[in-house]
Each structure stands twice: as structure tokens, then as C-alpha cells.
Structure 1
């Protein structure tokens, strides 16, 4: 079984990097509210990955986008994400200050912040979706596709564990420890991004392989 998709997804999602955001957004929450937020975020992360694996290629076909072009674009997005991680920032785009204020207001109004912004875009944004679609195209059997969806379950569990243990993790690792892990995952992601772009470019320009 190929575990490269799982390694790539873990590098992109990197739930540990979201721990400081989770603590920020759930300030003032009761223990029960935090538990609901953690569970909702984990389930949503799995659903985004599963939907991308099962429907992503159909959506590309609908819009007439070739997978080779999507691989190059997705690879560039992964490379940008890896550069963010090398600077100890989340792989996915960080909401701007107005979005942070809106998120806080929604939380104060009782709306769940588990889906937006914690899961989308901080955990599973465009980079995650494009990665899943690319690996879904490489699946040659239903078993491989099911395995890709299964990796979504692993990501969901990892997300649940990281957020459920957010406060202990924050105390043990500290900001410095989380930054070091984020940079290491960013380095791995950069190498994977180059590989994805190279495969796409070879499909678009076969002469490059000569």
C-alpha cells in the first residue's frame, strides 16, 4: 500500500500548527463546547477529503480542466504552502483580521467556528483539496480509492487528537516546538510539491522527458 498520500496530507493539514488558533477561538468556551468544536472539526476534515477523493475528478471534467494542468497548479499551491510552513505559518491561508473578528463574533453569537475558519481554510483548504484530487486520479482500483478515503479518517482522528489535547500539547511543545515541527513538515511538503509539478509538466510537455 502506498502511504505517500497520507504523508502528504499529514504535512499539509498539520493539526499541531492549528493548536494556537484553536486555543484562541475557543477562549471562554465551556468544556462541552470545546468537545463539540473538536468533534465537528474532525468530522468536517474527513468529509472534505472524502468528497474531494470521490467527486473531485468529476468536477474537473465538468469544467473541462485537464489533470496535468491541475497537477501543475496544485503543485505550485503546495509549494507556496510549504514556504508558509518553512516560515512557521499554517499551510493553508490564514484569515485576515476582519475574518478573525467575524469569527469571534460568530462564536459569541453561538455559531460553531469548527467548520469556518478552523477546518476551512486552516486545516483543509485549496492545497489539501488539490492534493486529494491528484492522488484520486492515480488510484487505479476501487481499493486504492477507498484507501484514500480511509486516509481521510486518519486525518480526522489526528485532528481530533491534536485539538482535544490542545492545551497539554501547547504546554509541552510550546510555540518553539510547534514551529520546529511545522518547518520540518514544510520541508517534506516542498519536495513532494516539486514531484507533483514535475509529473504534470511531463504530461503537458512530453519532450521534457527526453
Structure 2
């Protein structure tokens, strides 16, 4: 059970990337007062939790309604996560997030960034949705389901803490250390994504 929690925790941590969300959130909320930043951070996490819970609990039924097998979703989700890993290794993911943040800041009428772009697509994006559905599909019984959801909640809690401490966190980490951590996590995510694809192909052709 502990190994399953660690595996799920690492997967969610790499995909959601709490340290990577911090600088984007800091730049998006630079003109807000501390109370507003706290409120938007909490709101973004609550919305993300709701979205991920919906896909965790009802994603399999949605796939069944669309006529998509879990094995096919494993392969597709693994490929999607692998592409995210490539972006992390080659420093494309952060650039894309920063470009999105700049577009938001160019529209002064947009003040609340909790829904877009923080909750969607930065936290509860395609990668994290695919991840929670893949992990839920691999879990058997209430205990394993609770472990996956617990790991997801723990990572979202860390994400909330990183958003609340975005300014000080960026001063401590610095751009170079953050880049190194992102690349290391990208390599790990690539291996996990490959395992998803292998599992899906094995089950499909067995």
C-alpha cells in the first residue's frame, strides 16, 4: 500500500508540478493584495479537486459510454504524459505556461485567475485528468481507490502551499535550480508514461 501511495504521489506531483505553478501564479497575481492571492489560490485548488474527482469517479463510465476501452485509454494517456515529459526535459512546458500567463495579463479586465488558467488547464489539465483516470483504472477495491485519491489530495495540498508561498519560494529556488528539478522530474514522468503504454498494449493484445 505504501509503495502504491508513493507511486501515485510521484506521478501526480510530476504531472501537476506544484513548484512549476508557483512562478506563473506569482506573475498572474502580481497586482493583487495578499488576501486576494490567498482567495484565488484556495479557489483554484477547490475547483481542480472537483474536476479531478469527477473524472476519477465517473471517468470510466464516460469511456464506456463512448465505447473506449480502458486499455486504449492507457495507451493514449501514456502517450500524452510522455509528450508532457518531453516538454519538461527540453524546457518547453514552462515556456508554454509563461506565454499563456502573458496573454492573460495583457487583458486587464481579467482579474480572477483561479478558474482560468490556474485550475484549467494548469492544475486540472489533460495530463492530470488522464493520470487520475489511469491510476483509478489500475486500482482494485476501496482501499486502493482511497490511496490514489489520498495521493492526489496530498499533491493538491502541496500545490496550494506553493501558490500561497509563490513569491518567497521563487526567491529560494531560483530559475536554475527549478530548471534542473523540472528536467529530472520529466525523465521520471517519461518512464512512468512508457509503463502506461506498455501495460495498455500488453492487455490489448493478450
1:10–1:87 Cα change, 3 Å = same
1:76 maps to which residue?
Answer: 79
Q: TM-score, normalization: structure 2?
A: 0.90
1:93–1:175 Cα change, 3 Å = closer
* Residues in 1 aligned to 2:166 and 2:92: alpha-carbon distance in whole angstroms: 17
Gaps of 5+ in 1: none
C-alpha contact (below 8 Å) 2:49/2:153 kept by paired residues: yes
1:136 pairs with 2:111: no
1:53–1:93 Cα change, 3 Å = farther
4+ aligned runs moved over 6 Å, structure 1: none
1:20 pairs with 2:23: yes
Q: How does 1:34-183 map to 2 (within 5 A)?
A: 34-90=37-93, 94=97, 100-101=102-103, 103-104=104-105, 108-109=108-109, 111-183=111-183
* Residues in 1 aligned to 2:155 and 2:173: alpha-carbon distance in whole angstroms: 21
The alpha carbon displacement at 1:109 in A equals 3.0
1:7 pairs with 2:10: yes
* Range moving further from structure 2, 57-66 or 41-50: 41-50
Alignment: residue pair count: 203
* Residues in 1 aligned to 2:153 and 2:39: alpha-carbon distance in whole angstroms: 18
The alpha carbon displacement at 1:119 in A equals 2.1
CA RMSD for the aligned pairs? 2.1
The alpha carbon displacement at 1:129 in A equals 0.7
C-alpha contact (below 8 Å) 1:89/1:182 kept by paired residues: no
3-state DSSP class of the match of 2:143? helix
The alpha carbon displacement at 1:93 in A equals 6.3
Gaps of 5+ in 2: none
1:203 pairs with 2:203: yes
1:92–1:50 Cα change, 3 Å = farther
Q: TM-score, normalization: structure 1?
A: 0.89
C-alpha contact (below 8 Å) 1:49/1:149 kept by paired residues: no
